[in-house]
Amino acid sequence: MSEHALDSNGRLRHLITLEGLGRQHIEDLLDRACELRLAFADGACGPQLLRGRTIVNLFFEASTRTRSSFELAARRLGATVLNFEMSSSSTSKGETLEDTLATLEAMQADAFVVRHRENGTPERLARHAKRAAVLNAGDGNHAHPTQGLLDALTIRDRHPDFSRLKVTLCGDIRHSRVARSDLHVLGALGTGEIRLCGPAALMPPVDEFPGCRVFEDFDDALSGSDVLIMLRLQRERMAEALVSDEAEYFRRFGLTSERLRHAAPEALVMHPGPMNRGIEIAADVADGPQSVILEQVSNGIPVRMAALASLLGA
């Protein structure tokens, strides 16, 4: 985590990555998300912590879950939300992102939620911001911190003691920003064992996650796992087609109900979405009793409320 992500009092100023963020910061954000989840339960009108504040969504890449949940989180907390439209903005006339940010900051934007296909864009904008907070909503294969936090919250709801858990991530880990943020948060929370599984071509460099056990055989990785995080093939980030036969990929790495029996009883099935049914996960598993995929989606709102409120000192 770069130093400018914290202010002089050690408070989070921007949320760019979970790497290097201490366990206490992470637990504070998760605790705050739990409080806000309770305060807004069953459609209740919870605290309007962001009344009078303006949040700008700057999404340069497609999104369903992250964009919608940041918008709902901000609106439910009483903020004004501006969904910046790239195609009709002056970025299409060559304006730099820094100038766009400065222009919107001059209109008293308080926070920017940034998604971009290039690693480092949210960090770059955070360095440029004078007053506003920048929240990374996913950059390239680098980081997706709020996804990491909502995944941790979803696990913590069922298993508060991470030291007892075996967590397996399976799929295209090499191109996944979700995997990186999950690995950072799972490490910070003291997860007992983290397993990575997938074809060799889709594994991260060997020294990137030294504490993890790497498996090429999915049944071996599944054995005794308490949590399974399935990842899609991120073809948009592959320079070449690294998996040509999806049926063969599903046969080796797809999570089926038969395979799931190798995992611990009642193991949690997770997926950050978007899902490709029949490629990394069978439809009946995605919709089955062990799936918490829609809980992950629901938890995205209080996690993003907590992140916005904390960064804005509310």
**Which residues of the shown chain bind ligand CP in the complex (CB under 6 A)?**
63-66, 138, 144, 147, 272-274
What residue type is 176 in one-letter code? S
Coil vs helix vs strand at 134: strand
> Taking the complex as a whole, how short is the minimal distance between the CB of residue 145 and ligand CP, in angstroms?
11
Nearer to ligand CP, 63 or 91 (CB): 63
As a whole number of angstroms, the distance between CA 12 and CA 88 comes to: 33
For the chain, how many residues are written? 314
8-state DSSP, 265: T
Peptide bond into 265 cis (omega under 30): no
Nearer to ligand CP, 198 or 272 (CB): 272
> Taking the complex as a whole, how short is the minimal distance between the CB of residue 268 and ligand CP, in angstroms?
17
As a whole number of angstroms, the distance between CA 11 and CA 310 comes to: 9
Nearer to ligand CP, 33 or 49 (CB): 33
Nearer to ligand CP, 49 or 181 (CB): 181
> Taking the complex as a whole, how short is the minimal distance between the CB of residue 57 and ligand CP, in angstroms?
11
> Taking the complex as a whole, how short is the minimal distance between the CB of residue 272 and ligand CP, in angstroms?
4
Judged on CB neighbours under 10 Å (0-12, 13-18, 19+), 140 is middle
- 269 beta partners: 228, 291
> Taking the complex as a whole, how short is the minimal distance between the CB of residue 22 and ligand CP, in angstroms?
24
> Taking the complex as a whole, how short is the minimal distance between the CB of residue 170 and ligand CP, in angstroms?
16
Nearer to ligand CP, 123 or 151 (CB): 151
Nearer to ligand CP, 64 or 163 (CB): 64
As a whole number of angstroms, the distance between CA 121 and CA 134 comes to: 10
Counting Cα atoms < 13 Å in the Cβ hemisphere of 137 gives 27
In the numeric block, the tokens 């997926």 are attached to: 271
- Which tokens is 216 given? 């090429």
